Structure 1
Amino acid sequence: GNASPKPDELEHWLPEAGGDLDLVVVGTQENSESEAPGDASIPAVKSLESETDITERKSSTSTKKAEQLSHQWDEMLSTRLGSGWGVCKKLVLREMRLIIFARQGMINGDEKAFAVSGIQWARSATGIATVWGNKGGLAIKIQVGHTTIAFVSAHLAAHDHKLKARNDMCREILKETRGIGVRHLDVASEFDHCFWFGDLNYRVNLNVPAVQKESGREQSDGSGRPVTLSEPTEDHVAAAKLQALYRGRIGRLKALVPYAEHDDHWNAVHDLVEEGAWERLLAADQLRASIAAGAVFSEFKEGNASFPPTFKMNRVPGNDYKNQRIPSYTDRILWRSMPQHRQAVSQISLSSAPGVSTSDHKPVFGVFELRLSCPPAIVPSLSLSSNPNSAPLVRMSNCRILGNFRVQANVGKPSAQPFFFCYTNPPGVLGSRAPMSAGTTRDRSPLSLQSDVKASPPSWSWDDRHVPLLRPAVRGPDLRHVSLILCFFEDRWSPHDPLGTVTVPLLPPASLSGASEYSITVDSPLRYYNVTKRTGRFRATLTVSYGAALALALSRANQEGAGTRARSACGPARCEVM
């Protein structure tokens, strides 16, 4: 809230000397102690991998702090943590701030298994005119040992009726911070883990049909008939817009929503707070509804809050709400992991700090336990150049995209010729250049001639000859530690903004564990940044062969010409390096 923080209030959420933590990541918004990084309208993407790795810096701890800590807030955090900690990276965009601390042994390389390296970062301004830095996000990627982790701290649009703007800003942040890692992928689609947190500004709204029906109340249009809107997200948008539209005309609004008066709505939410009815409050939460509808944060997880909403407060200790805003869970922590790493993350705690008195928000903090990954070894002897009959074979067949694209701009036109790149997590399993399919034309089935788009979504399918045969440079049993990431584009003339990605874990089905050949059925929505609502679907069958099954699988693929017309990753203005 732009008030000067109090050092003694750090004890409410930050353990002295870091307690038993190894990493401390702090994101703040409306922190007036921050400096602006120059032109906030230009996203800045930088990488220490091409400069100096922080684990190789030989300067003293005091020198590093003098270089990196120059503001009151940073100094408070550093003093609280003590001399055993150092700064991995801090990032600032106007009043937003993101800073990562690690124990000195992780920074200077003394603890090699936990050494921090590979730092990359980017800024995204999504505020006024979509370029001003009063709203937006800060993203930092680090590598701890072999584990890659992205942290995104965001400040999204305020006010109840700006739900769509909040969801759009999340997508824009991911779009503008591409360049961290592979340029075609965003930070939520590429790395082992992605943590997203900050003042996300999603609100609690009891004027929503789904919530009202659950509590025995239904919205009416004035005729006594219940009004049913198509999706939870649209319910929230409609309810908030109705309140804004009919503000001052309470008589008309009362026929549409149960809490037409702001005071009535505030009192109803406050009563639930007093009851400790956290589940009922979260059932009326815009973010939860948006996630359920696929409108934002696809595949992200969030712990269940067992504390009161954190906004909007009087600046005193305790939970003393201002009447001008509906009490809401605006401050959130979410995370997403690659399929093979989902069991590696556990949230130990999720709490708020009501003792902090300098903001109209109460800070939210989480403690996580993260088991570091041990990726499969890239085996040079299995590369095609040295031993073409040893590398496992991953063959994709019956590949098809079904349309009804509603989110991506200018997609679904008959002239589109979609193609896709193939990446992996961990990176490099398919070599230094991403294999790439040929483009394909729209299917001309009888259904596509119908005028009803809902009955006949457009589709594109690939002949198996146009889909690359993949030869991972790992041993067959190690494929269970690998996920395939397919990144789709509309056509060769628009290779910058993807249609979306699909992530396919290559581990075998439980019933075929240990088998040298198995199939994976894929039927997945395209993730357009973090959206899966109305983005199209990808369907295919993947067959994985190695060991005793490899020779026959290769012979069959050669006889059928599989992959013979797939394109090289290097084309005109399109040479991709992992």
Structure 2
Amino acid sequence: MTRDESSSSDEDSATPQFACSEAKSNMNYCLVASKQMVGIFLSVWVRRELVQHVGHLRVATIGRGIMGCLGNKGCIAMSMSLHRTSFCFVCSHLASGEKEGDELKRNSDVAEILKSAQFPRICKSPCRRIPERILDHESRVIWFGDLNYRVALSYQETRSLLRNNDWNSLLERDQLKIEREAGRVFNGWKEGKITFAPTYKYSQNSDIYAGETVKSKKKRRTPAWCDRILWHGNGMEQLQYLRGESKFSDHRPVCAVFAAQAEMNNRYRKACLGADSRIPSDELIPQRHSFY
């Protein structure tokens, strides 16, 4: 697999890994693709019995960091097909900052990613069209990561609302919500209802937001829902949207579970008639793992 140089970061020379990898023989999932660009990492895992039906794996990277091109900010996007349906996964780290107007930089990052991310063309392919851009996919795109949108309130106002668990009032001032409703970013995209506390910024190895103690005051940031998951299209249904409590970062991780429709060829469809293809969510997010 060759990289698309027109949409790759120059500082990242590692090629993406495309292979079925099984860490343990009793695992239900196989790693089929992984890619890292500085601090951005994306991997795709597929249930063991579905690996043979995965194809057209391709990757695109866009750097939006220092000088507008380095990979400390930007995205990794992966395109693949499952049976006869294409999927796209986008992991991004957008521009930081909580000053007024910084949200416009993040809007610009999203626009540039959608404009410039292009997957390598597959010369020999079946009659159906193979997507080359993020929005070319058949209504099955998931975008996630540190989108860095903040809450348009002061630190003191935000902390007061947090003490009362008044997340609805906080969400009304969420920059991503404001920008989406104004039509300035992620037009046509969807996000599930947020029912968890802001995911940023925490003191190291702590449940306390940075700035609540004298020691962490210099690192203080207004708590915000920086970490988000959105999707595009009608071919998916979100079943869960939640956050974990791992303390290895100043962020809390977020997770979503989706049910997605996939078109199968006639031969395989007949073999699957009557089978329930839905997977229990506790298998997708097992509580024994460090996500919790």
Q: Same fold (TM over 0.5)?
A: yes
In the alignment, does 2:119 pair up with 1:119?
no
2:47 corresponds to 1:159: no
| 8 Å Cα contact 1:124-1:138 kept in structure 2 | yes
1:138 equivalent in structure 2: 76
Sort the Cα spacing of 1:366 and 1:333 in 2 relative to 1 into closer, same or farther, 3 A.
Answer: same
Aligned residues: 241
Equivalent in the alignment of 2:9: 40
CA 1:329/1:94 → structure 2, altered by over 3 Å: closer, same or farther? same
Aligned partner (choices 129, 147, 164) of residue 275 of structure 1: 164
Distance 1:145 1:365 in 2: 25
State the shift of 1:42 in Å. Answer: 7.5
Q: Is the 8 A contact 1:141 1:180 kept in 2?
A: no
C-alpha distance in structure 2 between counterparts of 1:167 and 1:105, whole Å? 39
**Equivalent position of 2:176 in the other structure:** 287
Secondary structure of the 2:81 match is strand
Match for residue 210 of structure 2? Answer: 322
Unaligned runs of 5+ in 1: 1-38, 49-53, 66-77, 110-114, 207-264, 377-578
Structure with greater contact order relative to length (CA < 8 Å, sep ≥ 6): 2
In structure 2, the CA distance between the partners of 1:42 and 1:177, relative to structure 1 (3 Å rule), is farther
**Using the alignment, how far apart are the partners of 2:33 and 2:236 within structure 1?**
23
Name the CA distance, whole Å, in 1 between partners of 2:46 and 2:258: 15
Change (3 A) 1:165 1:84: same
Say which one has the larger Rg: 1
Question: Equivalent pairs: percent with the same residue?
Answer: 28
CA distance in 2, matches of 1:179, 1:97: 17
Match of 1:193 in 2: 140
1:257 equivalent in structure 2:
none
1:348 and 2:236 are equivalent in the alignment? no
Distance 1:190 1:375, change over 3 A: farther
Helix, strand or coil for the counterpart of 1:160?
coil
Q: State the TM-score, normalizing by the size of structure 2.
A: 0.74
Per-residue deviation at 1:198? 0.1
Q: 1:84 aligns with which of 28, 36, 60?
A: 28
Provide, for residues 90-141 of structure 1, a one-character-per-residue CA deviation record: whole Å limited to 9, x for no partner: 011112110011122111x2xxxxx211111111111001111100000001
Query: TM-score normalised to the size of structure 1?
Result: 0.39
- Residue aligned with 2:190, SS: coil
Of 202, 219, 227, which aligns to 1:331?
Answer: 227
Query: Corresponding residue for 2:49?
Result: 105
Q: CA 1:374/1:293 → structure 2, altered by over 3 Å: closer, same or farther? A: farther
Partner of 1:203: 150
Deviation, structure 1 residue 326: 0.4
**8 Å CA contact retained: 1:346, 1:369:** yes
Correspondence list, 1:11-410, <5 A? 40-41=9-10, 64=21, 83-107=27-51, 109=52, 115-161=53-99, 162-179=102-119, 186-206=133-153, 265-318=154-207, 320-323=208-211, 324-337=220-233, 342=234, 344-354=235-245, 356-373=246-263
CA distance in 2, matches of 1:308, 1:118: 38
Tell me, yes or no, if the aligned pair for 2:83 and 2:265 is still in contact at 8 Å: no
Q: State whether residues 194 and 336 of structure 1, in contact with CA within 8 Å, keep that contact through their aligned partners in structure 2.
A: yes
Which residues of structure 2 form unaligned runs of 5+?
1-7, 122-128, 212-219, 267-292
1:142 and 1:126 map into 2 onto residues whose CA distance is: 24
1:498 alignment partner in structure 2: none
